[in-house]
């Protein structure tokens, strides 16, 4: 898996959830991923929509979707309005001909095109055993660490290893968590008698 393949999963699903924040409240809606090219994701929205104004005001957006293979992709990044919007709307309509039925003829130009080329991607595959989790950076964006780690306070009792649902904790000094297989459920941390398991960040 890599950044481009993750973005392509979003494009293949097409109708995905986009989240923004307005006045401190979460806002979410289904938006079409219109184009994916060279580690960039393109979409559009109409100037009259609240979504458009939220993007213009802040630009931060979170996108998530899951396919029929139970592979989830989450993208957090900054959406930027494209300067040559009419050109990009024409490209988007060529790649997505069904849009002509929604916005026929010149009405298409009420839409503005946006791109996300900077952010972090999380890939989470529930179809494999154990589960697989990976993180990627778009345009060298810092990736926030998530999950848990086992500190040097670990006494090696093995309780965490025995109760881990994905059996992704290995013997060591200290014990360690295979991050690529971790659910981030926190069961190990809740049951550690020495409080040696800490949340990242």
- How far apart are the C-alpha atoms of 17 and 23, rounded to whole Å? 20
> How much is the pLDDT for 140?
77
- Taking only the tens place, the pLDDT of each residue in 114-126 is 999 999 999 999 9
> How much is the pLDDT for 34?
98
Which positions of the chain have pLDDT values less than 70?
none
* Partners of residue 141 on adjacent β-strands: none
> How much is the pLDDT for 201?
79
Q: Is 28 in contact with 15 (CB distance < 8 Å)?
A: no
> How much is the pLDDT for 9?
97
> How much is the pLDDT for 143?
82
Find the radius of gyration of the CA atoms of the chain. 21
pTM (global) more than 0.85: yes
Q: Is 10 in contact with 41 (CB distance < 8 Å)?
A: yes
Nearest to residue 112, comparing CAs of 187, 195, 29, 53?
A: 53
Per the structure block, which two tokens stand in for 159? 């309780």
Nearest to residue 168, comparing CAs of 197, 144, 145?
A: 197
């Amino acid at each position: 898996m890599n950044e481009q393949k993750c973005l392509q999963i979003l494009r293949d699903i097409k109708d995905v959830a986009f989240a923004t924040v307005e006045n401190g409240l979460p806002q979410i809606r289904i938006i079409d991923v219109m184009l994916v090219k060279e580690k960039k994701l393109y979409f559009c929205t109409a100037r009259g929509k609240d979504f458009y104004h939220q993007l213009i005001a802040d630009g931060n957006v979170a996108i998530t979707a899951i396919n029929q293979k139970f592979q989830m992709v989450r993208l957090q990044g900054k959406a930027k309005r494209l300067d040559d919007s009419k050109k990009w709307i024409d490209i988007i309509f060529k790649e997505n001909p069904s849009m002509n039925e929604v916005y026929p003829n010149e009405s298409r130009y009420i839409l503005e095109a946006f791109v996300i080329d900077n952010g972090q991607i999380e890939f989470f595959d529930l179809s494999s055993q154990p589960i697989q989790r990976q993180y990627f950076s778009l345009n060298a964006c810092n990736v926030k660490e998530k999950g848990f780690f086992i500190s040097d306070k670990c006494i090696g009792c093995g309780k965490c290893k025995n109760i881990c649902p994905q059996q992704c904790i290995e013997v060591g000094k200290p014990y360690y968590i295979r991050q690529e297989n971790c659910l981030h459920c926190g069961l190990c941390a809740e049951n550690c008698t020495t409080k040696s398991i800490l949340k990242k960040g």
